[in-house]
Amino acid sequence: MTVLVSSVIKLPPSSCESSDKYIDSQGVGLTKVGKSLREIFPHKLYTYQLKAMQTLMKGKDCFITVGTGSGKTEAFLFPMFEKILNGEIRNAIIIYPTKQLAEDQEKRIASYCNQIQEKAGEKITYSRYNGDLTQKELEYVEQEKPNIILATLDKLFYRCFKEGNEEFLDWLLNTGMLVVDEVHAGSGSYLAHIREMIKTLRKVNQKMIVVLASATLREVEVLRDKFLPTASIFQGKTRRGKVIFMVLEPEGLEEYLFEKLDPYLQISKSVALVFVDSIQKVEEIVAKSNRKLMKKTGAEMELVLAHSPFICINSQLTRKEKSIIIEKIHKGQIRIVFATSLLELGIDIPNISHIVNIGWPITGVNGLLQRMGRLRFPSIDQKKNFTIFLDKEKTIDNYYIKNKKKLEEILLENKAERILFDSKALQRAKAFVLLRVTLGVTKRKEIIELNEDEETRKVIEEAITILIAQGLLQVRKQQKPYLERTITIADKRKVQEFIRKHRIRSIDRQWDIVLKEGDKERKIGTIEEWRIIRSALPGNLLLHGSKGETYRVTALEEEKVVVEQLKYYQSNILQNKLKPPLFIIEGQARVQQLKNLTARFGKMLIRRETLEVRRYSREGKLITDGKDQSWKENHQWDQKTKGVILEIYSNEKQVKKEQQKQRMKLLEKLLKKAIEIKLHISETSLRTYNNYNEQKIVLFEKGGELGNAQQIFRKLDLVLEGIGELIEEKTTRRRKPIIEGITEETREKLREMIEGGKKS
């Protein structure tokens, strides 16, 4: 088979504008750091770096937005070091979007700090502060109070509420510099929490310097004004050599990877990073790769796995296993790394010559540019490759196959999409109020007025009222005017219970995967709770691990999936068949009755049941002989969340099923896009289910009750207005509509579906 190339886009090299200054030059301001680090940082400063460093040395806020590989980390790190060494600030916090990135950046900080100690004889202490640390390790960091902590927002936010953590809280409130790195990598609830953390800490500590750092953005001023109006903006280009960007068809994937790419990697001693946006698929593809290797070499499985040049990395591996993989990559033992979007940020892999992407990234344009940025260029004269496999059968893939110019424009512009965040959801607002009070913002007026728009203030006021009614907060100084009254924590136990249930990110609950070895158990990874009924019931086979090892599930215990490892490889595993999910709104639903649509909102029970359970023997063979009737067993999985059920009515007497399905698919797509545009709630915060036959669309909270579903229900008229605008959107030279190419008849039916945006 010949690999079919749909298009080739040649991207020219690019780099930032250089200044004539070095880090130890007069006027930069890095007196101690400049002398200590000049040897390992001998480059001329880029103009944006110089200006950002000078601004930070004056104690002013910065928003640094520059492409990957252009030194934005050094732009804020070096002034941070200098201020710590001079005693101008006692401590600094850097917030990273992922644990992996924090761990990766710790190595860079370690190398700089070691050099400073060696040359200047002064020590700067630092530590990670994230979910990879045990309770004892976290407490040790809090007790030691290092000069710099590399934190994830989640851990920082939750530990603010820990009882008996007053000394650490005081250290936090006196932070000299707060840096939020890779801002563009977040969206929705995460960014709303980031914004809240900045506003609250700045209210308590007005001397704190704040830095936002991101890839190049489209709407820099808009984001700056929302997050940090006091910041000066410093922009720079991506440092990049020549990139050959190829679009290929999926049928040629295996031939490309194993017959064209792998031989090249062997000769060049380089690495390819292959992105696959599904944990299950990434495990399947690495298992298939190693199975091919077994057939080709005729070697035993243990030998193949020990020396395989193919490996996968995903979020469900343990920290220890990830460390072993990185060590193997650095030793040159790995040629192809298969990864989920986890590797868009962090885990710096040396000597990457090729990036391969299977399908349009789940993280959209931002993800595509971030992945391309993993190609590092020591010299801009170098040439490297980015290959993407797009499938004509998939809507978004097909759009970019047909619109090569649009794809080329995205790549050449190299700017991340606008960032979505929303702080008006009531559940989230409650958490914000509790954070403000815990960190010392206790006057009712100040709690409310930390928000600039009237609508958000009303939501915050509502949150305060509910928290007082629920006994979490109490009002002091009742004799004072309403807005001057002080609000304090009433019941610490209730507050901690609320925060334990609160979710910052839209992440589903995880269960541990545990391997039984005699009398001992060993955690080998995790699995999302919702995947258990589909693929991790007793008797099911699981692909798991960096090499796609095959395991058989033996039992389910409390938040544990117990497995045993098979003695041979299997890459094609059948999953359980499920009935369509059942969505039940428990208790009394809130209802909006429109002309052609009924919306119901409330606490939702989602029930999933098995139709057929695929059981395997201890030898890994599918049981199909009829003696074992366990496949007929019914398994049920209930999930509780909050959600909205939209039921659409049609006056048409007869409509073809396929036609109805297409209309409902379009409506779902428009609904999600309108929610993004009108409410700034990203698609990743929600799950949707489309029942084409009954003309129902269900939207429910992913990863816990974040308040997004309620927000959608409350502003349904605004969402429907957004859908109407998208339906009427016309093609222009610079922009193609969301639903390009549909007939006027379909447009009319979509208009009819959403007609009556006001309550009838």
Kindly report, residue by residue over 605-614, the tens digit of the pLDDT. 999 999 989 9
pLDDT of residue 477: 76
* Whether residue 751 has pLDDT greater than 90: no
pLDDT of residue 732: 45
Please state whether 332 falls in left (phi above 0), alpha (psi between -120 and 50) or beta: left
Separation CA 463–CA 650 (nearest Å): 39
Q: What is the pLDDT of residues 397-412, one digit of tens each?
A: 888 888 888 889 889 8
* Whether residue 548 has pLDDT greater than 70: yes
CB atoms within 10 A of CB 576: 20
* Whether residue 268 has pLDDT greater than 60: yes
Helix (H) or strand (E) holding 101: helix 99-120
* Whether residue 737 has pLDDT greater than 70: no
Q: Residue 582, SS3?
A: strand
User: Contact, 386 vs 245, CB < 8 A?
Assistant: yes
The chain-wide mean pLDDT, for the chain, equals 87
pLDDT of residue 83: 97
What share of the chain has pLDDT > 90, as a percent?
45
pLDDT of residue 631: 55
Q: Residue 502, SS3?
A: coil
Of the listed ranges 182-186, 208-212, 383-387, 438-442, the least confidently predicted one is: 182-186
Separation CA 544–CA 551 (nearest Å): 7
Among 41-45, 183-187, 253-257, name the most confident range. Answer: 41-45
Question: What are the backbone dihedrals phi and psi of residue 131, each rounded to the nearest 5 degrees, phi first?
Answer: -70, -10
Rg (CA), the chain: 27
Q: pTM for this structure?
A: 0.86
Of the listed ranges 205-214, 337-346, 357-366, the least confidently predicted one is: 337-346
Instruction: Determine the topology of domain 426-501 in CATH.
Output: Arc Repressor Mutant, subunit A (1.10.10)
* Whether residue 759 has pLDDT greater than 60: no
* Whether residue 645 has pLDDT greater than 90: yes
User: Contact, 56 vs 111, CB < 8 A?
Assistant: no
Among 463-472, 549-558, 562-571, name the most confident range. Answer: 463-472
Q: Of 157, 155, 227, 214, which Cα lies nearest the Cα of 181?
A: 214
* Whether residue 94 has pLDDT greater than 90: yes
Please compute the mean of the pLDDT values over residues 335-361 and round it to a whole number.
85
Q: What is the pLDDT of residues 651-662, one digit of tens each?
A: 666 677 888 888
Instruction: Name the residue with tokens 């969402």.
Output: 719
pLDDT of residue 77: 97
Please compute the mean of the pLDDT values over residues 741-755 and round it to a whole number.
73
* Whether residue 124 has pLDDT greater than 90: yes
Which positions ≥6 away from 454 have C-beta within 8 Å?
Answer: none
Separation CA 194–CA 190 (nearest Å): 6
Separation CA 238–CA 373 (nearest Å): 8
Which positions ≥6 away from 348 have C-beta within 8 Å?
Answer: 104
User: Contact, 361 vs 371, CB < 8 A?
Assistant: yes
* Whether residue 677 has pLDDT greater than 50: yes
Amino acid identity for residue 525 in this structure: G
- The model's confidence at residue 346, banded by pLDDT at 50, 70 and 90, is low
Separation CA 643–CA 662 (nearest Å): 23
User: Contact, 255 vs 280, CB < 8 A?
Assistant: no
Amino acid identity for residue 248 in this structure: L
Which CATH number does 17-236 carry? 3.40.50.300
Tokens, residue 308 = 């395989």
pLDDT of residue 740: 58
Separation CA 316–CA 546 (nearest Å): 10
Which positions ≥6 away from 712 have C-beta within 8 Å?
Answer: 644, 675, 679, 681, 699, 719
pLDDT of residue 606: 92
Q: What is the pLDDT of residues 484-497, one digit of tens each?
A: 899 999 999 999 99
User: Contact, 376 vs 240, CB < 8 A?
Assistant: no
Query: Between 732 and 281, whose confidence is greater?
Result: 281
Separation CA 627–CA 547 (nearest Å): 34
Please compute the mean of the pLDDT values over residues 120-124 and round it to a whole number.
94
Separation CA 660–CA 637 (nearest Å): 30
User: Contact, 336 vs 271, CB < 8 A?
Assistant: yes
Instruction: Determine the topology of domain 243-413 in CATH.
Output: Rossmann fold (3.40.50)
What share of the chain has pLDDT > 70, as a percent?
94
Instruction: Name the residue with tokens 């009108």.
Output: 678
pLDDT of residue 173: 94
Could you tell me where in the chain the CATH 1.10.10.10 domains are found?
A: 426-501
Please compute the mean of the pLDDT values over residues 438-454 and round it to a whole number.
91
pLDDT of residue 392: 86
- The model's confidence at residue 758, banded by pLDDT at 50, 70 and 90, is very low
Separation CA 462–CA 433 (nearest Å): 10
H helices of 179-278, where?
Answer: 189-204, 220-227, 253-255, 262-268
Please compute the mean of the pLDDT values over residues 553-582 and round it to a whole number.
88
Separation CA 434–CA 488 (nearest Å): 9
Could you tell me where in the chain the CATH 3.40.50.300 domains are found?
A: 17-236, 243-413
* Whether residue 338 has pLDDT greater than 50: yes
Q: What is the pLDDT of residues 194-210, one digit of tens each?
A: 999 999 999 999 999 99
